[in-house]
Amino acid sequence: MTNLITKTTELAMSVTLAYIKPGDTVVDATCGSGQDTVALARAVGEEGHVFAFDIQKKALLLTEARLHSHGYTNVKLVMQSFAEMSGHIPANSAAAVVFNLGYLPGGDHSITTVAGTTLAGLDAALRTVRPGGIVTVVLYDGHDEGREEKQRVLEWAEALDPGRYHAAFVSLINQQNHPPEILWITKK
Q: What is the pLDDT of residue 109?
A: 77
Q: Is residue 96's pLDDT more than 90?
A: yes
**Could you tell me the residue ranges of all domains in the chain?**
4-187
- pTM of the predicted model, to two decimals? 0.95
> Residues 84, 17, 14, CA angle at the centre, nearest 5°?
110
Q: Is residue 1's pLDDT more than 70?
A: no
Tell me the percentage of the chain whose pLDDT exceeds 70: 99
pLDDT tens across 136-182, in order? 999 998 888 889 999 999 999 999 999 999 999 999 888 777 889 99
One-letter amino acid for residue 135 of the chain? V
pLDDT tens across 11-27, in order? 999 999 999 999 999 99
C-alpha–C-alpha distance, residues 167 and 185, integer Å: 4
47: Cα separation from own chain's centroid = 21
**Sign for the pseudo-dihedral over CA of 127, 102, 63, 14:** negative
4-187 homologous superfamily: Vaccinia Virus protein VP39 (3.40.50.150)
Mean pLDDT score of the chain, rounded to an integer? 94
Q: Which helix (H) or strand (E) holds 54?
A: strand 49-54
pLDDT tens across 106-135, in order? 777 778 899 999 999 999 999 999 999 999
112-134 burial: b if 16+ Cβ within 10 Å, else e: bbebeebbbbbebbbbbbbeebb
28: Cα separation from own chain's centroid = 5
